[in-house]
Structure 1
């Protein structure tokens, strides 16, 4: 017999709002039987179990969610879920292993190494972590080893003309030039630090996206703040930070980050219009009507076709006329 998924979802949500998490859990379990690949359900179940104090069950649901993300190569989202598990149980070794493997898959060797080291701190006899670290260190040694410099032996200089035979002049052999001094270790200026920093920023950004989708805004904010140091994605980070603070109801901070985003150089008028629209919404949410009106007007100057800004202006003007 087919079930009405939307009806069950609505019912589960009503139970949540009524403070009846156990009944909500039962409804979500029904849905998982029908749609076992629906990631939202595992997230909701994990959150509900956690609120009920059933940590082991919560971890079980989060692990299923992380595996689904990993199956789709959504590695950073999977990492964010495993980190969620570690926030519940900081000594959950399996999560450390999973995160390390996913970091390796993304080419973030330093991060993977750190998580394997964490495993050995918790479980010194973990052979898998030890072997993984040995493999990582061997690979790092190979990449850092300087190439061998082969110096050819000095060749004697051939004179342009031979002396006359009758003079029987004994031509002295030319003194070979001194061999160049080759240092025992040739060091090279590595460019990997800049590349790694960029990779790290990308990693923090994607983790922030994953946390935001899970409505873990504090975690997301932390990741976006770290990623914002990278120039190419600074604008996106500021926008995401503004969005997260809007969701949290911290309008002062959202105004701050939308303003920072609007000052990033090189933005097109369309991008500026969208940023100012978000800024206008933040002003409106904070009750700063005149600032909101001014900002929405700026949106229309930047993009005349931005109909939502026009709607907001009319709405605010109507509100001020009636007040």
Structure 2
């Protein structure tokens, strides 16, 4: 039996396969220059990120380990502020309000945004006008949106109670009733966030190949089946992005709650950020306020990581 040129040769009784020759790594001409150029473009953003994000985060973490009263240097107390959270009923009430707010606003605003995107992606007349109306709240700040909410839900001269009175319905104590106050915050937030969700979903709908829809139609799929089994799954990346953005926003909501209700009545609308604000700027306990902020950051990062690990449609391409 003769050996071919491609068969390994036995050396010193070694009958095993020969190791493949290692390839010499050659550096492409200009690679160093391109890498330096890339780092040069990245440097301004990295510098701004470090100065305005990472340095304040490190300062907040250090501050959370101190007892402060707003004057002079703080006293190092270790993790006492974190232990204090477990026995603070207002913190748990604010946490419950934040979770409830998130569970209502996130799916509600996404469902409204998806419905609006579907309508505005069809042959609806005056689509451009309706798109502008829905996106308009995004052009104003949260404070301005909350001030509009005050005009609507004011107990004495609000538009909502005037409409209820004109319809012969009993008026609602929007600012002195805890449940009604929470509902008013949710309604204003939904009005503000729906346009953003609609815009992202509309971009996702316009990125879906029409051949997929036509193929499903030719196979006999109904309108509901096309949306259920074709369109909605293809919107996976948009849904993945919106879930994270809406949850993070809901965790960090402040301006609408602060202007509309101030966290009242009786902490019925107090959320974690407003509670941190009260501790930091009213009570002047910046250490405890920083502790609440650190906990909120950890929860947001944990949710984002969990969502990233469990999502199966984040990289789906339409």
Same fold (TM over 0.5): no
- Which structure's relative contact order is higher, taking Cα pairs within 8 Å and 6+ residues apart? 2
TM-score (norm 1): 0.20
Is the radius of gyration larger for structure 1 or structure 2?
1
